[in-house]
């Protein structure tokens, strides 16, 4: 899996904008927003560092993320929320 939500490569789009959005990852413990207990759960279940980035953009000219929130997006190999590379 290359990305969890959006994978953009080779100038598929010129502009990408997120406005007033919420990105919600996994919450493991009955909806409690406790990153420490989530991390302990993830380690015990061997899911750390194995996830792809939420958004991956390669050769994308304009990316705007304005007035957004991201929660519980962990455990990626690199760039848990956003991974930019190759001319982005």
Could you read off the pLDDT of 29-61 as tens digits, one per residue?
555 556 666 667 777 776 666 677 888 888 877
User: pTM of the full predicted structure?
Assistant: 0.64
Nearest to 9 by CA among 58, 55, 47: 58
- Of residues 1 and 80, more confidence is placed in 80
How far apart (Å, rounded) are the C-alpha atoms in residues 42 and 19?
30
């Amino acid at each position: 899996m290359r990305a969890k939500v959006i994978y953009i490569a080779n100038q598929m789009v010129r502009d990408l904008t997120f406005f007033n959005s919420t990105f919600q990852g996994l919450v493991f413990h009955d909806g409690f927003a406790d990153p420490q207990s989530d991390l302990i759960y993830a380690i015990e279940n061997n899911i750390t560092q194995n996830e792809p980035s939420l958004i991956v953009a390669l050769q994308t000219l304009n990316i705007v993320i304005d007035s957004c929130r991201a929660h519980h997006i962990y455990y990626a190999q690199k760039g848990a929320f956003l991974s930019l590379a190759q001319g982005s």
